[in-house]
Structure 1
Amino acid sequence: MRRRARSTPLPTRPPGTIVSGHMISRRGFLAGAVTLLAAPLATEAQQTGKVYHVGLVSVAVAPGGRTVLWRAFLDAMRELNYVEGRNLVVRQAAAAGKREALPGLLADLVKQPLDIIVTSSASETLAAKRATSTVPIVMTAVFDPVTEGLVESLARPGGNVTGLTILVPGLSQKYVELLKEVVPATRRFTVVTGRAWAFPQIREELLSAARQVGVTLSFAEGNGPDELATVLARARKDDSGAIIAPLDGRTYLHRRALAQLALQHRLPGIYWSREYVEDGGLMAYGAALSDVGRRAATFVDKILRGAKPADLPVERPTKFEFVINFKTAKALGLTIPPSLLLRADQVIE
């Protein structure tokens, strides 16, 4: 595998222009249960005997599961001297794709000793905010926290919620543009999401980008492997030549099934997180979730040391990644343009 880091998003293509490749050097490159995990040690806390209790809440993770984001978060906490099993207890509320389970999971979580809650998407953050107005909450992957009513503003959050947003205007249109470069003759793409997907801004960005490159988009919803299998079979029957999986916790939970179904139906796909590609998807583009996890640990450290969430500005992503699975490209009989390979942060070979 070849890797490199990207601190700025890929350029957005204005109408009628072409995105060109550029050479950049590489480096070896979300009904559940509340489960008790253990985690790291802060030097100061060890001296005082203080043990911190952190709740991790995710709708897109099964009980006991740890995503790239959560692993990076716990690694960064360890580097900050919060050590698993020594001065940090991590309690995980994992809804396994069932948003309706969140209120019960959060009600159980806040009954236990708890210093801070770390969430991923808006649904978890909203459930946490409804469950407590006193325990600090650090969000990690909320699309638009102001519109969702989680914070007053990005600069001055107010209340007990702060953290990171993955709202980057124009990012979603890159899905259409990058996919079109791989399958230039394709005239129809299918956007695959879980049921009750509610990201109107992403939808509008996708539609706008599709109009610019002469592609028709259809939108299809499926919550589990069986429904996703039906969605992809229908997409192929309707002459869709590729799929797009934008930000969504439900497809993320079933990413391996989605990636393998896409391969089975010979549908190239682009996804919002690299983990889809690691499970066999063709391409992914978006905020680097490992970096998001590490930055969330910095928020937690500041709050545990006395900072108030209301005073910590919400941050946007600073690192983005474009990942290509070359093995999947070969299996699909695709030739990836050299310019696209050069722009990739990682090529899985």
Structure 2
Amino acid sequence: MKRRTFLAGSGGVVAWPSLARAQKVPRVGYVVAGDPEPGWTLFRKAMADLGYVQGRSITYEYAAIGGDAANADALVAPLVRRPVDLIVAVFTPAIAAARRATTTIPIVFSGGGALDTGMLRNIARPEANLTGVFNPAAALAGKAIELFREIKPATRLLGVVANQPDPFHVVMMGAVEAAAKAGKFDVAPVFIRSADELGPAIDMLAARRVDGVLVQPSVGLQAAAVNAMRHRLPAFSFRRGIAESGGLFSYSPDNAEVTRILAGYVDKVLKGTRIADLPAQELAHFELVVNLKTARTLGLTPSAMFLNRADEVIE
């Protein structure tokens, strides 16, 4: 299912970097790939905690790319034309599209792909108009595979759903191939270009009798979990949404922590801080969420040691 949402707020146009001197309400664009929630709600709450009242001291313009990364440019372009005063970009397709669309509007991002794909080159002193919070996403993919093999140590063939229009898929597949070589198992990757291809991709992997499926987050984790369960396939990823939607587990950043950091960056930029003076921040804390209900449905039994390491167990 394609999700393309655009909600326009009202507010004045303010030129960066003189935002702190503006008298009109700043307008912030928020563009996200993959599943928009809970990040969108958490971000607005974090901004409210900093004193920003929607419609009075800030307005938002929201664009959801969903699993259709190829459409990212078309969804970001209206934000730049208005223009918004700042763009929050979540996940690599959104970051890449925002970066292509503007070199002047400040961009605050969340996602490992900005560093892994070379869009962010200077962490300590960001260049141009891009800074934010990143995670070692390629390493997280490798760790997620390691955790899956603790649950299914006899894994011989691992399915992977990769989002081809998302630049991060190349980096992710490198991590997957390295894990496969070290673990002496084979990989069955399927590269999709739109959300419509997700269901057929998982059908194909089920036909190949894969032991499990690693899902790239930007394809849409809710739909991936539902489709995997149709075939009784354990699905996992390095974003929490897969576990919450019925997948086996996730190993990922803490969404609440990420959005608090994002809101802090936005607050500073709106008050006049230059992007170059806001070092990008690497996340150091990650959480393991295990869906024990799904494990039982699939006939899997995570060890007590595995469950004791989990930050959250869904039953």
| 1:129 Cα offset (Å) | 2.7
Who is 2:15 aligned against?
A: none
- Return the TM-score normalized by structure 1: 0.79
The residue identity in structure 2 corresponding to 1:58 is V
Contact 1:158 1:311 in 2 (8 A): no
Aligned to 2:107: 137
Query: Shift of residue 290 of structure 1?
Result: 2.6
Please, which of 111, 116, 120 is the counterpart of residue 151 of structure 1?
Answer: 120
Q: Deviations over 1:36-70 (max 9, x none)?
A: 2589xxxxx9xx96522111112335xxxx42222
For the residues of structure 1 that align with 2:205 and 2:188, how far apart are their CA atoms? 9
Structure 1: distance between partners of 2:242 and 2:10 = 27
Corresponding residue of 1:57: 31
Can you list the C-alpha shifts for 1:180-209, whole angstroms capped at 9, x where unaligned? 111122211111123445433322222222
For the 8 Å contact 1:326–1:348, the answer to whether it is kept is: yes
SS across alignment from 2:62: strand
Taking the aligned partners of 1:242 and 1:292, their CA distance within structure 2 comes to: 28
Q: Any residues of structure 2 matched to 1:208-287 within 5 Å, and which?
A: 208-223=178-193, 227-246=197-216, 248-250=217-219, 252=220, 255-287=221-253
* 2:111 aligned partner, one-letter code: A
Which stretches in structure 2 are left out of the alignment for 5+ residues?
12-18
Match of 1:34 in 2: 6
* Aligned pair partner of 1:302 in 268, 274, 290: 268
Q: Unmatched 5+ residue regions in structure 1?
A: 1-30, 40-44
- Does 1:202 pair with 2:166? no
Does the aligned pair in 1 maintain the 2:70–2:193 contact within 8 Å? no
Within 5 A, what are the aligned runs for 1:55-94?
55-60=29-34, 66-94=36-64
Deviation at 1:339, TM superposition (A): 0.7
Report if the CA contact (8 A) 2:109-2:130 is conserved.
yes
8 Å CA contact 1:191–1:244 kept in 2: the answer is yes
Match of 1:182 in 2: 151
1:168, 1:316 within 8 Å by CA — same for their partners in 2?
Answer: no
Report how many residues are paired. 303
Note if 1:163 corresponds to 2:129: no
Amino acid at match of 2:29: G
Check whether the contact 1:49–1:87 (CA below 8 A) recurs between aligned residues: no
Q: What is the aligned partner in structure 1 of residue 311 from structure 2?
A: 345
Match of 2:94 in 1: 124
Shifted more, 229-238 versus 323-332: the winner is: 229-238
Relative to 1, partners in 2 of residues 1:169 and 1:274: Cα closer, same or farther, differing over 3 Å?
Answer: closer
Tell me the amino acid that sits aligned with residue 333 of structure 1: G
| Higher mean C-alpha displacement, 171-180 vs 94-103 | 94-103
Change (3 A) 1:223 1:102: closer
Q: Measure, in 2, the Cα distance between the counterparts of 1:238 and 1:186.
A: 13
SS in 1 for 2:110: strand
Percent identity between matched residues is 33
Which residue of structure 2 aligns with residue 11 of structure 1?
A: none
* Secondary structure in structure 2 of the residue aligned to 1:145: helix
Is 1:106 aligned to 2:76, yes or no? yes
